Chain A
Amino acid sequence: MAEKDNRHVTIKLTGIRKVYKIGGEELAALDGIDLSIHQGEFAALMGPSGSGKSTLMNILGCLDRPSTGSYMLDGEEVAGLSDDKLAITRNKKIGFVFQNFNLLSRISALDNVALPLVYAGVSKKDRLERAMQCLQAVGLSDRADHQPNELSGGQRQRVAIARALVNDPHIIMADEPTGNLDTKSTKDIMEIFEAMHEIGRTIILVTHEPEIAACASRQLLVRDGKITRDAGKGVVMDVI
C-alpha cells in the first residue's frame, strides 16, 4: 500500500483505548488501536460480535469519545471535543448509513435527505435543491415526495445514502448497510458504494459478511479490541 502513503490521510487513530467500568472491573472494548485511513479508501471493518467493532465504529463516527488516544480527523483532533462540537463535526464531516436506514418516518424522502442541512444552517431553498441533486444521484428523484414507509428497503437505503452525501462529508460510515436487504437490493447498494469509491469518496463499511467486505479496497479485522488483520482488496477473510 506504499502508493497510498502520499495521499491525504483523512483518519489517523493513535493508541485509541475505550475502557468501560463494569462493577469494579475495567473492561477494554478497544485496546490500543492505531489506524490510518487515506482519502478515497474503501475500508471494510469486520469482526465478530463483542470484538469492539461497534465501539470503533462509534468513535470513528464521532458518536463516542475514546478513553485515551488521539483521533485526527482531517487534520483536526476530535478525541476530546464536547458533545455539541462532536455533533457539529458529524454534521460537517461524516455521512451515516445505518443497517435499519434510520429515516424519519413522518417526513418525505426529500426532507429526510435535507435534514443534515437543517442543522448545518442552510436556507430552505438551498437545502432542498441540494437534497434533490443527491436523490437524483441515487436514482430516486421520482420518489422525493414519498414517505419512507412508501418505499422498498432498497429504496430507503438509497435515500439514506443520499442523506449521507448531502453535506459533502469527508467520510461515509456505513454500519451493516445491507443487513436488512434482499440479495437484489444488496447488489444495488453495493454498486452504489463501489461507484462512490470510484469517484474518490472515503468509505468505512462495517459488516460481518465476507462477500460484502470483499468489495472494499481494504479489509480490517477487529478482534478483542485490536486490529488483528489488515489486508488488501479481494481477500475473503475468514472472520470467525
Chain B
Amino acid sequence: MSSKEAESFRLPPFTAKAHKFWLNDAKQCFIMAIIALKANKMRTFLTMLGIIIGVGAVIALVSVGMGVKSNVTNSISSLGSNMLIVSPGSSNRGGVRGAAGSMQTLKYDDAEAIKEKIKGIEYVSPTVSGSYQVVNGNMNWNTSVQGVTPELMSIRSLTVGYGSFITQSDMNKRQRVAVIGTTVATNLFGTENPVGKNIRINNQPFKVIGLLESKGQSSMGQDQDDMIYIPLTTAQERMLGITYVQSINVQVTNQEEMDQVQAEIETLLRQRHHILAGKDDDFNVRNLTSLMEAMSESTSMLTILLGCIAGISLVVGGIGIMNIMMVSVTERTREIGIRKALGATYDNIMLQFMIESMVIGIVGGIIGIVLGSGASQLIGKLGNFTTVITLLPILVSFFFSVGIGLFFGIYPARKAAKLDPIEALRYE
C-alpha cells in the first residue's frame, strides 16, 4: 500500500465531548429497545400478552363491578332511595294508642307547603289509599286503589304503556279516571286493551285512561303491578270522604341533603300543626338511606374484589416480563460484552435493559387499556348490562403495568450490567 493510500486513514482528529449519557441516549436506548423487541416479535408479543391480559382484565372487571354498583344504585333509587315518606303519627286518646298513621292531621296543604318552602326537593306527592272490589262486566278483582298526584309517576319511576297518567286537570276536576297496573288489567280485561274502557271501583264508574308497564315484584315481595291509581282529590272526596292524606312521598334532589331536608320537614310540620316544644310529633318522617348504604357498600366490595383478582394476573404478567428479560440477557451476553468493551458503563447497560422492559410494560399497558375498554363495552352490549369505565382504573392499571415493567426489569438489567466484559465476549 502506497503512502498516498495510507493518507486516507488520516482521519480528522476527533475529541468526544464529556459524558452526558442520560439525556442524549435515553432516546438511543429506546431505539435499541425497539430493535431488540422487534427482533423477537413472537416472544415480545407473548410477553406483552401477560400485561395486556392483566391490564385488560383490571379495566373490564372493574367496569363490570362499577356497572353492578350503578345498577343497584339505580334500582334502589327507583324504589325511592332519595325518598322521604311522611306519614301521620298514631292517635292517642285517653291513653289508648291507635295504629300508626291513624291520625288525621296530615293535609294536602302540608304537602303543598313542603313543596313551596323547603329547598332541595324534586317532587312531593301526597297519597291516600284503600282496598276495593273492582268490576269490569262479569269479572272482578280486589286491589289497592291509591289516590295520587301526577308527581307520583316520577317518584315511583312509573312508565305508562298505553294511554296517559293522571294530570293536574284530572286532579282539579276530581275526574273519575284510573290508571291500572298490568296485574289488574289481566284480571279484569284478559288480553284486551283496557284503555278507554269503563270499570267500576266500589260501584262508582271510572274510565281507564292508562295502562302501566310492568314493574314486577318489589324487593319486599309485593306485586307492584297490582295497583290502581286515581286522582288524589277524587279518592279523598268521592271514594273515602276524607280531607286528610295518609302519606306524603317527598323526593329529595341530592342524596347528601336527605338528613337536612328531613329535619326541615319536621320543623315545618311542627309549626303548621302547632305542636308545642316538648310535645311529640303527630307525624313520622322515614327514609331508605340505610338500605342504600348497605347495598352500595357491598357492591364496592365486589368491585375491589374483582380488581384484586385482575391485579393478580397483572403481577403474573410482570413475572413473565422478568422471565423473558432473564432469557434475553443470557442470549445477548455477547452483545453486552461488545457494548462494554466499547465503553458502555454499568448505568448504560442497566438503562438499556430497563427501557426494554418498560417498553413492554407501556405498549402492553396501552393495548390492554384498548382491549379492556372494548371488552367492557362488549360485555355491556351482550349482557344487556351497564358497565362503567372511569379514568381511575385506566390510569392505575397503566402506571401499574409500567411500574411492573420497571420492577421486574431491575433484576435482569442488573444481571446484564454486572457482566464481566471478558467473560461476556467469550460467551458463545
Enumerate chain B residues within 8 angstroms of A91, measured Cβ to Cβ. Answer: 16, 342-343
B346 at the interface (CB under 8 A from A): yes
Between A104, A119, A166, A195, the greatest number of chain B beta carbons within 10 A of the residue's beta carbon is seen for A119
Enumerate chain A residues within 8 angstroms of B6, measured Cβ to Cβ. Answer: 194-196, 198-199
Bound Cα distance A116, B28 (Å): 12
A115 at the interface (CB under 8 A from B): yes
A130 at the interface (CB under 8 A from B): yes
A216: min CB distance to chain B, Å: 15
- Which stretch of B117-125, B279-287, B331-339 is in the interface? B331-339
A87 at the interface (CB under 8 A from B): yes
Q: Are A83 and B346 in contact (CB under 8 A)?
A: yes
Given A90-B343, A96-B341, A106-B36, do A118 and B25 touch, yes or no (CB 8 Å)?
yes
B349: min CB distance to chain A, Å: 10
Enumerate chain B residues within 8 angstroms of A218, measured Cβ to Cβ. Answer: none
Number of B residues near A (Cβ < 8 Å) is 43
B15 at the interface (CB under 8 A from A): yes
Q: Are A115 and B339 in contact (CB under 8 A)?
A: yes
A167 at the interface (CB under 8 A from B): yes
Q: Are B9 and A115 in contact (CB under 8 A)?
A: no
Enumerate chain A residues within 8 angstroms of B19, measured Cβ to Cβ. Answer: 88, 120-121
Q: Are B12 and A92 in contact (CB under 8 A)?
A: no
B30: min CB distance to chain A, Å: 12
Enumerate chain A residues within 8 angstroms of B340, measured Cβ to Cβ. Answer: 87
B210: min CB distance to chain A, Å: 75
Q: Which of B1, B3, B28 contacts A191 (CB 8 A)?
A: B1
Output the nearest chain A residue to B29 by Cβ-Cβ distance: A118
Q: Are A102 and B334 in contact (CB under 8 A)?
A: yes
A163 at the interface (CB under 8 A from B): yes
Given A63-B422, A102-B334, A194-B1, do A121 and B343 touch, yes or no (CB 8 Å)?
no
B312 at the interface (CB under 8 A from A): no
Bound Cα distance A132, B135 (Å): 102
Encoded as 1 (CB less than 8 Å from any B CB) or 0, chain A from 197 to 230 comes to: 0110100000000000000000000000000000
Q: Which of A58, A139, A191, A199 contacts B7 (CB 8 A)?
A: A199
B24 at the interface (CB under 8 A from A): yes
A192 at the interface (CB under 8 A from B): yes
B318: min CB distance to chain A, Å: 26
Encoded as 1 (CB less than 8 Å from any B CB) or 0, chain A from 161 to 174 comes to: 00101111000000
A122 at the interface (CB under 8 A from B): yes
B99 at the interface (CB under 8 A from A): no
A55: min CB distance to chain B, Å: 9
A203: min CB distance to chain B, Å: 11
In chain B between 1 and 50, which residues have their CB closer than 8 angstroms to a CB of chain A? 1, 3, 5-21, 24-25, 28, 32, 35-36, 39
Between B8, B19, B35, B343, the greatest number of chain A beta carbons within 10 A of the residue's beta carbon is seen for B343
Q: Are A195 and B5 in contact (CB under 8 A)?
A: yes
Between B3, B16, B335, B337, the greatest number of chain A beta carbons within 10 A of the residue's beta carbon is seen for B16
Enumerate chain A residues within 8 angstroms of B17, measured Cβ to Cβ. Answer: 120-122
Enumerate chain B residues within 8 angstroms of A195, measured Cβ to Cβ. Answer: 1, 5-6, 8-9
Output the nearest chain A residue to B16 by Cβ-Cβ distance: A120
A84 at the interface (CB under 8 A from B): yes
Instruction: Write 6 A-B pairs (CB below 8 A) sorted by A numbering.
Output: A63-B425, A103-B338, A106-B39, A121-B19, A121-B24, A201-B9
Question: Which B residues form the contact surface with A (CB < 8 A)?
Answer: 1, 3, 5-21, 24-25, 28, 32, 35-36, 39, 334-335, 337-348, 421-422, 425
Question: Which A residues form the contact surface with B (CB < 8 A)?
Answer: 58, 61, 63-64, 83-84, 87-88, 90-92, 96, 98, 102-104, 106-107, 115-124, 130, 133-134, 136-137, 139, 163, 165-168, 191-192, 194-196, 198-199, 201
Other than A107-B35, A120-B17, give 8 A-B pairs with Cβ distance below 8 A: A63-B422, A115-B342, A122-B24, A130-B14, A167-B16, A194-B1, A198-B1, A201-B9
